[in-house]
Structure 1
Amino acid sequence: MVSIDYQGQTIEKQALRYQGKAKQVFQTNDPDILWVHYMDQATALNGKVKEMITGKGELNSAISHLLFDYLTQNGIENHYLTAVSKTDELVTTLDILPIEVVTRNYASGHFVSKFDVTPMQQLTPTVQEFYYKSDALDDPFINDSQILALGYANAVELAQLRQKSQDVNQLLRARFEKIGIHLVDFKLEFGRTRAGKVILADELSPDNMRLVDMRTGASLDKDVFRQHSGDVTIGYQDVLTRLQQED
């Protein structure tokens, strides 16, 4: 049995609870703690396209750990607890809300085609969008009243999702600007603790962000994989190196 000592307690990795597009989530002997493994897998079109990419899991894990630590230091409560290895971590068990919050600082992706605007047009004010988290339905857009009517979140939680996403955007955008990268847009997920508190979950990596080099305009995120334009790990490694140097 694989285990790690965490805060004086032996945490054992147990049965697989869930496998997503790029991560595996395992139960542990503590019901309040989950064990997450980042896989060497890239996906597109909501998992319809998959490819194994050596080293990607380690890069995503390292970037995510750095950014979660940064947010924690700046008062953003999240599920990340500690790293177990280069690809594994412990996180707080949450009841994940079926809502993805997308924040857009610049026009890109579907936003460009949907509204026929210029790519990388700065969006003022920053755009926030909600999507229902469902691969089977291709994560459809959902608005405030639909979320409330379907019971996916209450009014207080909905306001928290908006504010917390704004706070995260402000912090991450400043962090990336310091290392010469535009934070174009990104997706966040949230969950409820056992006490009912809504906190940040999932990961923070180029898998769920669009990152563009300020000087060259090059993509440093999963768009490289989506568009078959090169080796996705080169951009991920560049992002990690810059973040580590800034630390």
Structure 2
Amino acid sequence: MQLIYKGKTKDVYSLRDGQILLKFKDDVTGENGVFDPGANTVGLTIDGAGKSGLKMTQYFYELINSRNIPTHFISADLDDVSMVVKDAQVIGKGLEVICRYRAVGSFFRRYAAYSEEGQKLDRFVEVTIKDDERGDPTISDDALDMLGILSKSAYQELKQLTQQICDIVKDELAKKGLELYDIKLEFGHDKSNGQLLLIDEISGGNMRVYKDGQYVPPLELERLFLSE
């Protein structure tokens, strides 16, 4: 096992068989000690956050795989707090895809003159470039195409997959009386065949979820969602 990359919330290793191992950490993104799934810096460390994130990730990936939606997920080891995945090439230098069901976070901060906090949105999809130095700027499908990052047809595939996956997550959360406000996904291309894949994790650290109008923190979300 060889270390490839030390990330904010996970470390990435290559395995001898060509697969990849993701080792989950207890670090979460945020600012000034406050969790924020859209932040581009580690804001705090929460004991147990890594295993909590992996539990939810395993649940959702197994469900999504069962729907024949392409992902990189192969298996998870909760004791080791790690996940084995297919080797995937990130898009460009890395993109994040956000699906928004309500106007909160950076969306509301940007468009407060035209929206009310918490107002409903219709599966609004936006893409940001992974670029800490420039604050992860948003980018349009036209710019993605013109800069050679992602063609317009590939963007449409990305958008459709995002909405399909996020609706699955939203519906599952709703079964426990939880409402998904927004969620951040990542995609890449399978190095073996070029297929577009969902990659990274699907956990409380990547989403804002509310219950009865109150925000649910990541660890509490995992406890509520995975409780019998």
TM-score, length-normalised on structure 1? 0.82
Tell me the equivalent position of 2:104: 108
Tell me the equivalent position of 1:177: 174
Post-superposition shift, 1:73? 1.6
1:26 to 13, 16, 21: 13
Query: 2:124 and 2:40 mapped to 1: Cα distance?
Result: 25
- 1:193 matched to 2:190? The reply is yes
Query: 2:152 and 2:123 mapped to 1: Cα distance?
Result: 21
Percent identity of paired positions between Structure 1 and Structure 2: 26
Tell me the equivalent position of 2:23: 37
- 1:99 matched to 2:95? The reply is yes
Tell me the equivalent position of 1:121: 119
Counterparts in 2 of 1:148 and 1:122: CA distance versus 1, 3 Å:
same
Tell me the equivalent position of 1:226: none
Tell me the equivalent position of 1:85: 78
- Contact conserved, 2:128 with 2:139, CA < 8 A, in 1? yes
Tell me the equivalent position of 1:225: none
Alignment of 1:199-214 (within 5 A): 199-213=197-211
1:19-57 deviation per Cα after TM superposition (whole angstroms, max 9, x unaligned): 1110001011022x1011100112325454543321111
1:129-157 deviation per Cα after TM superposition (whole angstroms, max 9, x unaligned): 11112122211010111101111112331
Q: Which of the pair has more CA radius of gyration?
A: 1
TM-score, length-normalised on structure 2? 0.88
Higher relative contact order (CA 8 A, sep 6+): 2
Query: 1:48 and 1:96 mapped to 2: Cα distance?
Result: 19
Query: 1:110 and 1:82 mapped to 2: Cα distance?
Result: 33
Letter matched to residue 21 of structure 1: K
Post-superposition shift, 1:109? 0.7
Query: 2:183 and 2:76 mapped to 1: Cα distance?
Result: 23
Letter matched to residue 219 of structure 1: Y
Letter matched to residue 115 of structure 1: Y
Tell me the equivalent position of 2:35: none
Letter matched to residue 122 of structure 1: K
Letter matched to residue 72 of structure 1: N
Query: 1:121 and 1:188 mapped to 2: Cα distance?
Result: 22
Counterparts in 2 of 1:58 and 1:192: CA distance versus 1, 3 Å:
same
1:186-228 deviation per Cα after TM superposition (whole angstroms, max 9, x unaligned): 1111010121100100110111111111x2x2212xxxxxxxx
Post-superposition shift, 1:237? 3.5
Query: 1:37 and 1:49 mapped to 2: Cα distance?
Result: 16
1:114-138 deviation per Cα after TM superposition (whole angstroms, max 9, x unaligned): 2222221111x32111111212221
Tell me the equivalent position of 1:223: none
In structure 1, the gaps of 5 or more residues are 1-13, 221-234
- 1:59 matched to 2:52? The reply is yes
